[in-house]
Structure 1
Amino acid sequence: MKPIVSIIMGSLSDMPVMKAAAEFLDSMEIPFEINALSAHRVPEQVAQFAQDAAGRGIKVIIAAAGGAAHLPGVIAASTPVPVIGVPIKSSNSMDGWDSVLSILQMPSGIPVATMALDGSKNAAIFALQILAASSDEYMAKMVAFKAELAGKIAKANEDLKAVSYKFKC
Structure 2
Amino acid sequence: MKVGIIMGSKSDLETMKKASSVLDEFKIPYEMIIASAHRTPEAVKSFVERLEEEGAIAFIAGAGAAAHLPGVVASFTTLPVIGIPLNATALKGIDSLLAIVQMPSGMPVATMAVDGAKNAALFVVQIGAAFNKNIKAQYKAYRQDMADKVLADNDALQASLQGE
TM-score, length basis structure 2? 0.94
Q: Which residue of 1 aligns with 2:20?
A: 22
The Cα of 1:165 is off from its aligned counterpart by: 7.8
Q: Which residue of 1 aligns with 2:134?
A: 137
The Cα of 1:20 is off from its aligned counterpart by: 1.0
Q: Which residue of 2 aligns with 1:87?
A: 85
Match of 2:119 among 119, 122, 131: 122
The Cα of 1:131 is off from its aligned counterpart by: 0.6
| Aligned residues of 2:8 and 2:62 also touching (Cα < 8 A) | yes
| Aligned residues of 2:22 and 2:121 also touching (Cα < 8 A) | yes
Distance in 2 separating the partners of 1:144 and 1:23 = 17
Distance in 2 separating the partners of 1:93 and 1:130 = 34
The Cα of 1:159 is off from its aligned counterpart by: 1.0
Q: Does 2:158 match 1:161? A: yes
Q: Which residue of 2 aligns with 1:34?
A: 32
Q: Structure 2 unaligned segments of length 5 or more: list them.
A: none
Distance in 2 separating the partners of 1:93 and 1:66 = 11
Q: What residue identity is the alignment partner of 1:122? A: N
Distance in 1 separating the partners of 2:98 and 2:9 = 19
> How many residue pairs were aligned?
164
Q: Structure 1 unaligned segments of length 5 or more: list them.
A: none
SS in 2 for 1:145: helix
| Aligned residues of 1:50 and 1:76 also touching (Cα < 8 A) | no
Distance in 1 separating the partners of 2:41 and 2:32 = 18
Q: What residue identity is the alignment partner of 1:39? A: A
Q: Provide Cα deviations, 1:6-32, integer angstroms capped at 9, x if missing partner.
A: 111111110111111111111111111
The Cα of 1:47 is off from its aligned counterpart by: 2.3
The Cα of 1:88 is off from its aligned counterpart by: 0.4
Q: What residue identity is the alignment partner of 1:117? A: V
Q: Which residue of 1 aligns with 2:96?
A: 99
Q: Which residue of 2 aligns with 1:146?
A: 143
Distance in 2 separating the partners of 1:163 and 1:111 = 48
Q: What residue identity is the alignment partner of 1:98? A: D
Distance in 1 separating the partners of 2:141 and 2:83 = 25
| Aligned residues of 1:66 and 1:93 also touching (Cα < 8 A) | no
| Aligned residues of 1:132 and 1:138 also touching (Cα < 8 A) | yes
Distance in 2 separating the partners of 1:9 and 1:93 = 19
Q: After superposition, where does 1:42-57 map in structure 2 within 5 Å?
A: 42-57=40-55
Q: After superposition, where does 1:59-98 map in structure 2 within 5 Å?
A: 59-90=57-88, 92-98=89-95
TM-score, length basis structure 1? 0.91
SS in 1 for 2:6: strand
